[in-house]
Amino acid sequence: MKILFYNDPQLEFGGAETYWHDTAYFLVKNGVEVQKLSFEPDQNQHTWFSKVAHGPIVEQFCQAVRQFKPDLIHLNKNLLYAAGIKKALQKVNLPTIATVHDYYTIPFAINGRNHLKKRLFPFRICAQVHIVPSCHYYSKLKKHGVSDIHYIPHFVHPEKWTFNENYEGTGKKLLYVGRLEKQKGIWVLLEAMRILIKHDPGLQLIIIGQGSLERQIRSFLAHAGLHKQVVLAGGKQHHEVRQYFEQATLLIMPSIEDEMLGLVGLEAQASGLPVIASDLAGIREWCRHQATGWTVKPGHAFELAQAIRHLLADPLLRQNLRHQARVQVAREFDVGVSIQSLIRLYRQIIQSRQEIPVSTLVQAIPST
């Protein structure tokens, strides 16, 4: 079985890229032949439209298919070149599936925002079958009449994220890992820090990530006098993030919009780092209040500050949370279960494709 596994250029490294790399790695370990495909942005292109719409993307994608001869195409993160890739898929006429990683990119009309996106970006729907890692959104999409969608949970790479037996029970280091964007709740976290510093000036927050708000955040830190307590560490690779996990006391995920899952939280739990996160769909599937983590109302800086203060003052509670989270990750987000579920889905799609009469396939090819 041969899978062409596509992902947008890695301008940012987040959960979608982690899934792409790790899934390809474990598919190969399970005997699947995988070729990863990504297009680097061409700085010589003159306009944004010429880069993302059609042009060389169609030919490059078709050339990759001709050379590799895959049985199935798996689209992982497909936003930047979606229009061109859709045209290429119409030409190669192969079964295609896509993983939906972000709630705001769901290509189905389930609310007003999605209806608008569907009208503006009809080329976003490139696949016949979709995968979601969130049980909540699987149920929600099913209720809205989306039929060919499958729930396959994400997993944590067991070789990358190992449980920290030497967790520091008396530390005061907070950690944020994610994009520096409004929907991730970064302003809520900074406001919570301003509240906390008044009573505990020894508290430290390390922010890992990049985004459009970086310059504004630096200005805010200088204006609020937080530049000594808050460190902007920039983007980091996995092995570097793991080192920060080992040194931190709490991971904070203050998102203000629903997440499809929030993979970094699972990685922290697998590493033995307790998590405080917003009580949102996707997140609450693994961060269960007072059981495997601590949840707060999204967008409320004072409540977040109270939760941070509460957990910092109770080392025994943090130890209980991190050990229960470890058990949950091993039981519910196992790599073997996820990969075998994905392989079974691949086989079902390929087999059903082979059973369709050739005359039907020819009639089904869209005009270009």
DSSP character string of 158-206: TTT----TT--TT--EEEEES--SGGGTHHHHHHHHHHHHTT-TT-EEE
What pLDDT score does 368 carry? 36
Give helix 214-224 / helix 186-197 axis angle, nearest 10°. Answer: 10
Instruction: Extract the tokens encoding 86.
Output: 């859709």
Neighbours of 117 (CB within 10 A): 18
Domain ranges of the chain: 2-155+335-364, 173-332
Separation of alpha carbons 147 and 263, rounded Å: 25
Domain 2-155+335-364 has CATH 3.40.50.2000: yes
2-155+335-364 matches 173-332 in fold: yes
Q: What is the CATH number of domain 173-332?
A: 3.40.50.2000
Mean pLDDT, 10 residues at a time, over the chain (368 residues)? 92 81 97 93 49 74 96 92 90 93 67 62 76 88 84 92 88 94 96 95 95 94 92 91 95 93 94 97 94 97 98 96 96 95 96 63 40
Nearest to 70 by CA among 346, 366, 345: 346
What pLDDT score does 237 carry? 86
Q: What is the DSSP letter of 226?
A: -
Separation of alpha carbons 73 and 133, rounded Å: 18
Is the overall model pTM greater than 0.85, yes or no? yes
